[in-house]
Amino acid sequence: MAMRSRGLQLRSRRESLLVVVVGVLLLLATAAPRVAAAGLSRNYYAKTCPNVEALVRGAVTQKLQETFNAAPGTLRLFFHDCFVRGCDASVLISGPGDEHSAGADTTLSPDALDLITRAKAAVDADAGCSNKVSCADILALATRDVVQQAGGPSYPVELGRLDGKVGTRAVVKHSLPGAGFSLDQLNKLFAANGLTQTDMIALSGGHTIGVTHCDKFVRRLYTFKGARPQYSPPMNLAFLRQMRGTCPLNYSPATVAMLDAVTPNRFDNGYYQTLQQQKGLLSSDQVLFADRRSRATVNHFASNQTAFFDAFVAAMAKLGRIGVKTAGSDAEIRRVCTKVN
| Average pLDDT value for residue range 242-265 | 95
213 catalytically annotated: no
Question: pTM for the complete prediction?
Answer: 0.86
Residue 202 · residue 245 · CB < 8 Å: no
Name residue 48's amino acid. Answer: T
Max mean pLDDT range (1-10, 14-23, 249-258): 249-258
Quick one: the chain helix, strand, coil %, rounded to 5?
Answer: 55, 5, 40
Count of all residues that appear for the chain in the document: 341
pLDDT of residue 31: 40
Q: What type of residue is 72?
A: P
Q: Residue 155: left if φ>0, alpha if ψ -120 to 50, beta else—which one?
A: beta
DSSP-based three-state secondary structure for 329: coil
Q: In sequence order, what are the residues at sequence separation of 6 or more whose Cβ sits closer than 8 angstroms to the Cβ of residue 88?
A: 81, 136, 161, 162, 163, 164, 323, 324, 325, 331
Tens digits of per-residue pLDDT, 160-188?
999 999 876 656 657 899 999 999 999 99
pLDDT score of 276 more than 80:
yes
- Angle among Cα 186, 190, 195 to the nearest 5 degrees reads 135
Q: Could you tell me the domains of the chain?
A: 52-176+322-332 (1.10.520.10), 194-319 (1.10.420.10)
Cα–Cα dist 294/174, whole Å: 23
**CB contact at 8 A, 88 and 81:** yes
The single residue of 80, 174, 213, 300 carrying the catalytic annotation is: 80
Q: Name the phi and psi angles at 82, rounded to 5.
A: -70, -35
Binding site listing for substrate = 177
pLDDT tens digits, one per residue of 34-88: 445 668 999 999 999 999 999 999 999 999 999 999 999 999 999 999 999 899 9
**Residues in the annotated binding site for Ca(2+):** 81, 84, 86, 88, 90, 99, 208, 260, 263, 268
pLDDT in tens, 176-226: 999 999 999 999 999 999 999 999 999 999 999 999 999 999 998 988 555
The answer to whether residues 108 and 210 touch, using CB atoms and an 8 Å cutoff, is: no
**What pLDDT does residue 175 have?**
85
Average pLDDT over residues 260-277: 97
The residues facing 5 across adjacent strands are none
Backbone angles phi, psi at 72, to 5 degrees: -65, -30
Residue 305 has pLDDT above 50, yes or no: yes
At residue 287 the predicted structure's pLDDT band, cuts being 50, 70 and 90, is very high
- Supply the DSSP string of 275-326, one letter for each residue: HHTT--SSHHHHHHHHSHHHHHHHHHHHH-HHHHHHHHHHHHHHHTTTT---
Residue 258's φ and ψ, nearest 5 degrees, are -70, 135
